[in-house]
Structure 1
Amino acid sequence: MKKNIAIIMGGYSSEYKISLKSGNVVYNYLNKDKFNLYRIHIFKNKWVYVDDADNETPIDRNDFSIPLKGNSITFDCVFNAIHGSPGEDGLMQAYFELLGIKHTSCDFYQAALTFNKRDLLSVLKPYGIKAAPSYYLNLGDEINESKIIDKVKLPCFVKANKSGSSFGITKVYKAEELKGAIETAYNEDDEIIIEGFLDGTEVSVGVLKLNGKTTVFPITEIVSENDFFDYQAKYEGKSQEITPARINAEQLEKVTQASRKIYDVLKMKGFSRSEFIFIGNEPFLLEMNTTPGLTTESILPQQAKEAGIELGMLFEYAITEALA
């Protein structure tokens, strides 16, 4: 009997358009002979099922079901393709846990932790995971440029603490640019992390538990045509994404071990994609994404292809693991 699978997409953040694209790729590539697929758009003003003719039916949020033609459609599993809130910060995960519905993403605590860059790096530091020097600000805090620069040096990155797809990130070269960059970050979040610039090779590492084993995919090297791996570089072709990465054997071993360690220490489930920069042979963690992009151009699907896994099977593995 075919399983009913809800593919949730959209969300409440600036990333909603990317999420809709990811969700539709999942819908198009999953095997419809094996699964009954339902596209669910999650927005602040509506949760709706969208059929192939773009007709919308409201979701019953009491049990996450769809009232259709006198029947109530319930789900065996939810495929989470929401980038940002509420799909990547733990809100949907907690909701599904309360309802007892299986889903392809990690648990709610892990989602909330990894979505918060500051907390993630703090939790992983005792496990030997290296990160750039950083300075924290909350909305309303005094902005002391000299203290910030003493801590992180210049150039530095000013980032929204809880945001993705490079929204709210600015690379700062001069002290007088700090306040403008901080204002930009506050447009996305009321918490900020300011990090020292790491000058080295940037890589992205995808991980998924396959048949109960933490599996690290072939690693991607990121070469941005812009000043850093910003929104244009990620989504508008302004970067080279080279898989497998052009790194030496020691770098490959260390970043593979670090990625697997992070996944296991945090007791992760589902997809993750972690970004690192090498200083010499040492990988420094930038961030971890638990709902990475899943379009045909996205990094994780590129890595799966290099590993010999076609897109439909990649998505099916995530469902199989969730149901198991």
Structure 2
Amino acid sequence: MKKNIAIAMGGYSNEHRISINSGNVVYKNLDRSKYNPYRVHILQKEWFVVADDDTPYPINRSNFTVTIKGKLIAFDCVFNTIHGTPGENGLLQAYLELLGIPQTTCGFYQAALTFNKRDLISVLKPYGVKTATNYFLNKGEEVHPEEIIAKVGLPCFVKANKAGSSFGITKVKNEDDLIPAVKTAFKEDDEIIIESFLDGTEVSVGVVMYEGKILALPVTEIISENEFFDYEAKYLGKSQEITPARISEEQTSEVQEAAKLIYSKLKMKGFTRSEFIFHNNQAHFIEMNTTPGLSEASILPQQSLAAGISLQDLFGNAIEAAI
């Protein structure tokens, strides 16, 4: 019997359109001989299923079911493609766990932890994971530019702590630009992280649970046309993404093992994509995405195809692992 799969897409953040692109790719590539896929838009004001004729049918949030043309549909699994809240920060995971509905990403604790850049690097440091030097700041606290620069140096990056797709990030080159960058970051979140600049090759490593084993996918090298891998570079073609990365076999092994170590130590599930920069010839961890982009232009699908895994197999394996 075919399984009913809810493809959760949208979300409440600035990333909702990106998420819908990802969700539509999953919808297109699921094996119809095994699954009945449904596009579930989870938006701040309403949750609904979009039928093939574009008619919206509201989701019953008390049990995550939908009634379409008089037929009640319950879901065997949720394929989570939401970037940002509530799908990447643990809220959706916790809700589905309470309902007993399997979903394809990590658990609610891991999602909340990895969505919080500051907490994540604090947890990983005891495992020997190298990161940039960082400075934490909360909204309402007094900003001391001299103190910040003394710790992290210039240039540095000012980031919203809990935001994705490079929203709220500024590269600061001089002290006068620090306060405006802090204000920009606080538009996205009430916590920010200020990091030292790491000069070197930036790479991305997808890790998936595939056929019961933790698998590191081929490494992608990222070359941004802009100052860094920002929104334009990620989604508007302002970057080169080279898979496999033009790094040595030793560097490839180092960064893949680091990504697998993080996946294992955090007890992850589903797909992750971790970003690193080779600074002084050593891999420094930047961040982890637990609902990485799955559109045709996204990095993880590129890596999957380079590994010889079709998107149909990749997505189907995620569903079977979750169930």
User: Equivalent residue for 1:317?
Assistant: 317
- Rounded to whole Å, the distance in 1 between the matches of 2:173 and 2:227 is 11
Judge conservation of contact 1:77–1:101 (CA < 8 Å) in 2: yes
Question: Displacement of 1:310 after TM fit?
Answer: 1.5
Question: Displacement of 1:210 after TM fit?
Answer: 1.1
Amino acid at match of 2:293: G
- Supply the RMSD in Å over aligned alpha carbons: 0.7
Amino acid at match of 1:15: E
Amino acid at match of 1:182: V
Matched, 1:308 2:318: no
User: Equivalent residue for 1:290?
Assistant: 290
Question: Displacement of 1:135 after TM fit?
Answer: 0.4
User: Equivalent residue for 2:251?
Assistant: 251
Q: Deviations along 1:62-115, whole A, 9 cap, x unmatched?
A: 110002233320011000000000000000000000000000000000000000
- Rounded to whole Å, the distance in 2 between the matches of 1:211 and 1:32 is 20
Amino acid at match of 2:299: I
User: Equivalent residue for 2:268?
Assistant: 268
- Rounded to whole Å, the distance in 2 between the matches of 1:185 and 1:305 is 35
Residue range with higher mean Cα deviation, 242-251 or 66-75: 66-75
Q: Deviations along 1:24-80, whole A, 9 cap, x unmatched?
A: 111011112211011000011000011111111110001100022333200110000
Question: Displacement of 1:263 after TM fit?
Answer: 0.2
Q: Deviations along 1:253-306, whole A, 9 cap, x unmatched?
A: 211111010000000000000000002331100000000000011000000010
- Rounded to whole Å, the distance in 1 between the matches of 2:93 and 2:222 is 30
User: Equivalent residue for 2:112?
Assistant: 112
Matched, 1:152 2:152: yes
Amino acid at match of 2:9: M
TM-score scaled by structure 1?
A: 0.99
Question: Displacement of 1:3 after TM fit?
Answer: 0.4
Runs (5+) with no aligned partner, structure 2: none
- Rounded to whole Å, the distance in 1 between the matches of 2:35 and 2:256 is 33
Judge conservation of contact 1:4–1:75 (CA < 8 Å) in 2: yes
- Rounded to whole Å, the distance in 2 between the matches of 1:280 and 1:179 is 29
Amino acid at match of 1:207: V
Amino acid at match of 1:299: I
Question: Displacement of 1:211 after TM fit?
Answer: 1.9
Q: Deviations along 1:167-212, whole A, 9 cap, x unmatched?
A: 0000000100011111111111000000000000000000001122
- Rounded to whole Å, the distance in 2 between the matches of 1:71 and 1:10 is 24
- Rounded to whole Å, the distance in 2 between the matches of 1:130 and 1:250 is 17
- Rounded to whole Å, the distance in 1 between the matches of 2:32 and 2:175 is 55
Amino acid at match of 1:134: N
User: Equivalent residue for 1:48?
Assistant: 48
User: Equivalent residue for 2:242?
Assistant: 242
- Rounded to whole Å, the distance in 1 between the matches of 2:55 and 2:253 is 49
- Rounded to whole Å, the distance in 1 between the matches of 2:300 and 2:132 is 24
- Rounded to whole Å, the distance in 1 between the matches of 2:156 and 2:69 is 56
Q: Matched residue of 1:33: which SS?
A: coil
- Rounded to whole Å, the distance in 2 between the matches of 1:44 and 1:236 is 26
- Rounded to whole Å, the distance in 2 between the matches of 1:265 and 1:151 is 29
Q: How many residues align?
A: 323
User: Equivalent residue for 1:19?
Assistant: 19
Q: Matched residue of 1:240: which SS?
A: strand
User: Equivalent residue for 2:129?
Assistant: 129
Instruction: Give runs of aligned pairs for residues 204-223 of structure 1, distance below 5 A.
Output: 204-223=204-223
Q: Matched residue of 2:200: which SS?
A: coil
Question: Displacement of 1:138 after TM fit?
Answer: 0.5
Judge conservation of contact 1:250–1:281 (CA < 8 Å) in 2: no
